């Protein structure tokens, strides 16, 4: 592990908010060099209850952004940013998995690795897979080192300078295992005259109504003068690209933090696509993912925003979309760790892929996000939860008699919210104290893993943990809360409108048993069900 790799890890992993981390990091460097992580045995990974059982994640080590999800020859392929050497960001490769249904996955070998001396010698960064005249084609960002004073640098970590270029590779393999890279970049420099804060994550798409003769492409970028932006290109063949203009952008932040992603002066992982009779733009910056619904039309080809919001209010970053075989727009995102790096690095794995989410435009013109109905395939029998009154002071009024076992399942709640305040907590009923506490004793409080608060005083929002999450309910609509709970992650879908992804951690070798705690009027709860979900992997290694 080199100095540059450690600093780039900080710069690009999307988990560090401030360049102030750099000095701290340098003092940790000596240790990191000596203590290169020993490989955690597969048996330890398989026994780690925090490893999800129905989400996609690599068998070991670090993963981040989804890359190039594509449906090809009857299978879904998922690639993702991957460090084959350790459970920390670095040395970016594209790992690869294949699925018949976007739920059950099998790992395939790493699909893309840096080429020594090539334009991706320091990393194969994020990109997209498209089918061009029947040929699976990748457009992705390659990173290589340039000298400290090089005007070509587009990425700096305070110690090293890098040049990002857009690269091209094709595959003739029916399983997309092997790729032939073009030796030279298809876009070797940012637009002339632009002093960019970054230049990466190309996302081409085909839209004959806008450009009948070829491909349009969004590239993540920005400038200090104008803030984060998305650059628009066009090409007849994915190899010869013409720069058009910034298709969308923010405003200068005036910030002087070293990493422009932290301030919003650099937008990563753009995705621009038609949906219904609108266009949607998604991009990631400042540790968050933003969506915008608007229009994009010829001849100006400028995105005109109508509505905007956050795509997820929790731990979710760098998402990417694809069309499924029925033509639905499916969104995948990276769910990062939120525990300290020393902990996840020692655990031997870090990060996972979200469940597939379906995007649509709601009647109010906002982006709607639904769990793809696929996870229902994993449901075992439905348990209708019985609620019993609680007497302990300060807790919920009601608690479910049944619990979710092994942190591997789904909970669904429909509730008519009105004038009565409503709260729901997912409760860890296992007492992790050592020695274990007597559950009936006063100090044996249950831990809330995730809390939801609704008050008619603010009928247009939920407070989820500390986040204020907007909701829009018609008077007759129940509030719908759908939780997917898997090892150390909860994906919450609220009324098919918005999502909140939460990581939760606990010590030891056993996942908590999870109950539902509620305060409110029991008669208003029209549905409260639990399903254990069947793991997709016999040993948590997702193969
Ligand atoms: N992750 C990739 C970059 C992208 C960032 C590097 C977002 O291409 O901008 O691993 O998480």
Q: Name the residue with the closest Cα to ligand 1, atom 9.
A: 268
Structure tokens at 42: 């597969």
Percent of the chain with pLDDT over 70: 90
Specify the range with the lowest mean pLDDT, choosing from 2-6, 257-261, 299-303, 341-345: 2-6
**Per-residue pLDDT tens digits for 460-485:** 999 999 899 999 998 889 999 999 99
**Residues sharing a CB contact under 8 Å with residue 345, sequence separation 6 or more, in sequence order:** 37, 86, 87, 88
The pLDDT score that the predictor gives to residue 395 is 75
pTM to 2 decimals?
Answer: 0.93
pLDDT of 35 > 50? The answer is no
Q: Are 374 and 484 in contact (CB under 8 A)?
A: no
The pLDDT score that the predictor gives to residue 446 is 80
The pLDDT score that the predictor gives to residue 338 is 98
Structure tokens at 510: 């056993």
Distance of alpha carbon 344 from alpha carbon 458, whole angstroms: 38
**Residues sharing a CB contact under 8 Å with residue 525, sequence separation 6 or more, in sequence order:** 387, 413, 414, 415, 518
Ligand 1 center to 359 CA (angstroms): 22
Q: Name the residue with the closest Cα to ligand 1, atom 10.
A: 125
Ligand 1 center to 126 CA (angstroms): 6
Ligand 1 center to 66 CA (angstroms): 10
**How many CB atoms are located within 10 Å of the residue 191 CB?**
16
Structure tokens at 462: 């939920």
**Per-residue pLDDT tens digits for 478-522:** 999 999 999 999 999 999 999 999 999 999 999 999 999 999 999
DSSP character at residue 23: H
Ligand 1 center to 141 CA (angstroms): 9
Ligand 1, CB cutoff 6 Å, lining residues: 12, 14, 64-65, 81, 92, 125-126, 141, 200-201, 268-269, 317-318
Element (H, E) at 128: strand 124-132
Sequence-distant contacts of 27-30: CB under 8 A, at least 24 apart? 29/3
65 belongs to the catalytic site: yes
Q: Name the residue with the closest Cα to ligand 1, atom 7.
A: 318
* Catalytic residue (choose from 65, 157, 428, 486): 65
The pLDDT score that the predictor gives to residue 437 is 58
Bond from prior residue into 435 cis (ω within 30 degrees of 0): yes
CA-angle at 507, arms to 505 and 512, nearest 5°: 70
Which residue from 9, 62, 64 has its CB within 8 A of the most atoms of ligand 1, so it is best to mutate?
A: 64
**pLDDT tier at 32 (50, 70, 90 boundaries)?**
very low
Ligand 1 center to 3 CA (angstroms): 19
**Per-residue pLDDT tens digits for 195-208:** 999 999 999 999 99
Which residue from 200, 267, 320, 354 has its CB within 8 A of the most atoms of ligand 1, so it is best to mutate?
A: 200
**Residues sharing a CB contact under 8 Å with residue 310, sequence separation 6 or more, in sequence order:** 288, 289, 290, 291, 498
DSSP state string for 385-431? PPEEE--STTS-SEEESS-BSTTEEEEEEEE--SSS-EEEEEEE-S-
The mean pLDDT of the chain is: 91
Average pLDDT over residues 355-379: 95
Specify the range with the lowest mean pLDDT, choosing from 17-21, 191-195, 202-206, 380-384: 17-21
- Interhelix angle 3-12/21-34, rounded to 10 degrees, is 130
Percent of the chain with pLDDT over 90: 83
Q: Are 535 and 485 in contact (CB under 8 A)?
A: no
Structure tokens at 398: 């009601």
**Per-residue pLDDT tens digits for 55-110:** 999 999 999 999 999 999 999 999 999 999 999 999 999 999 999 999 999 999 99
Greater model confidence, 343 or 37: 343
Q: Name the residue with the closest Cα to ligand 1, atom 6.
A: 125
Distance of alpha carbon 213 from alpha carbon 313, whole angstroms: 39
Distance of alpha carbon 452 from alpha carbon 466, whole angstroms: 9
**pLDDT tier at 440 (50, 70, 90 boundaries)?**
low
Question: Which is the closest atom of ligand 1 to the Cα of 284?
Answer: 7
């Amino acid at each position: 592990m080199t100095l540059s790799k450690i600093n780039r890890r900080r710069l690009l992993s999307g988990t560090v908010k401030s360049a102030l981390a750099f000095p701290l990091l340098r003092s940790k460097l000596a240790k990191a060099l000596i203590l290169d992580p020993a490989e955690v045995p597969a048996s330890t990974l398989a026994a780690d209850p925090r490893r999800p059982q129905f989400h996609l994640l690599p068998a070991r080590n670090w993963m981040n952004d989804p890359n190039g999800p594509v449906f090809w020859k009857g299978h879904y392929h998922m690639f993702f940013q991957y460090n084959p050497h350790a459970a920390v960001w670095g040395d970016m490769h594209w790992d690869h998995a294949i699925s018949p249904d976007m739920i059950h996955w099998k790992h395939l070998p790493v699909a893309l690795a840096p080429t020594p001396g090539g334009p991706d010698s320091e990393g194969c960064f994020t990109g997209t897979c498209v089918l061009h005249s029947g040929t699976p084609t990748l457009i992705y960002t390659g990173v290589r080192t340039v000298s400290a004073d090089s005007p070509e640098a587009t990425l700096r970590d305070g110690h090293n300078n890098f040049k990002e270029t857009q690269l091209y590779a094709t595959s003739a393999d029916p399983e997309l295992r092997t790729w032939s890279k073009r030796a030279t970049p298809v876009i070797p420099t940012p637009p002339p005259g632009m002093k960019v804060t970054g230049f990466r994550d190309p996302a081409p798409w085909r839209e004959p109504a806008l450009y009948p003769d070829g491909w349009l492409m969004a590239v993540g970028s920005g400038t200090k003068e104008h803030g984060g932006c998305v650059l628009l290109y066009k090409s007849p063949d994915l190899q010869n690209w013409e720069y058009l203009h910034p298709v969308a952008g923010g405003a200068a932040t005036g910030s002087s933090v070293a990493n422009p992603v932290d301030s919003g002066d650099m937008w990563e992982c753009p995705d621009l696509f038609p949906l219904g009779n609108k266009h949607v733009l998604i991009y990631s910056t400042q540790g968050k993912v933003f969506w915008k619904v608007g229009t994009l039309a010829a001849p100006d080809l400028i995105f005109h925003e109508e509505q905007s919001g956050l795509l997820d209010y929790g731990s979710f970053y760098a998402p990417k979309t694809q069309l499924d075989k029925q033509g639905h727009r499916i969104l995948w995102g990276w769910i990062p760790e939120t525990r300290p790096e020393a902990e996840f690095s020692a655990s031997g794995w870090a990060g996972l892929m979200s469940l597939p989410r379906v995007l649509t435009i709601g009647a109010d013109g906002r982006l709607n996000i639904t769990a793809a109905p696929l996870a229902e395939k994993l449901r075992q029998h439905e348990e209708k939860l019985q609620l019993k009154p609680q007497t302990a002071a300060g807790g919920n009024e009601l608690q479910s008699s049944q619990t979710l076992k092994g942190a591997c399942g789904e909970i669904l709640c429909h509730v008519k919210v009105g004038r009565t305040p409503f709260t729901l907590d997912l409760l860890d009923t296992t007492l992790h104290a050592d020695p274990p506490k007597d559950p009936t004793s006063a100090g044996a409080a249950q831990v809330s893993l995730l809390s939801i608060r609704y008050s008619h005083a603010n009928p247009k929002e939920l407070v989820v943990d500390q986040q204020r999450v907007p909701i829009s309910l018609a008077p007759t609509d129940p509030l719908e809360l759908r939780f997917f709970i898997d090892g150390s992650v909860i994906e919450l879908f609220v009324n098919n409108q918005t999502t909140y992804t939460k990581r939760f951690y606990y010590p030891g070798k056993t996942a908590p048993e999870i109950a539902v705690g509620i305060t409110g009027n029991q008669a208003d709860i029209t549905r409260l069900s639990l399903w254990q979900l069947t793991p997709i992997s016999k040993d948590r290694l997702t193969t």
